[in-house]
Structure 1
Amino acid sequence: MARAALGWGVRDLATAAKVSPDTIARLERGDSLYARTIEAVRAAFEAAGVIFIDQNGAGPGVRLRDRQPSE
């Protein structure tokens, strides 16, 4: 969901997280990854403005941080 919200492809996320596209594919399939790899992906998303929402009855989710208007 976060990748789609940003309009990123697999390669965009891989570049931002400094991992391989194959690693992103494994993540999206639900394969096990090192904790540091998952942290790198999350950090890349957060740096791009994604906010992760904890489970609140309807399940976890994401949203984009409000953008500041251009001056």
Structure 2
Amino acid sequence: AFRIAPGQAHELPQAIPLLDQLPGVPRWVVADRGYTSHRFREHIWRMGARPAIPPQRHEAPVACPEWIYNNR
């Protein structure tokens, strides 16, 4: 599945509907800092997966396994 975001819009609002279209539950959801959001991380946890999304530089640290993120 795919979604097209309009012009200057951020893709984060499209991420949750795309995850909901997966046929199963992934072990990890890996994304870059642009997808950091408490709501997005919570959605990933609720679906039974683990988020591997590093925080923005100005945010508090969150658990993000380096080995998963670096090998994305």
Quick check: which has more Rg, 1 or 2? 1
TM-score under structure 1 length normalisation: 0.30
Structure that is richer in helix per residue: 1
TM-score under structure 2 length normalisation: 0.30
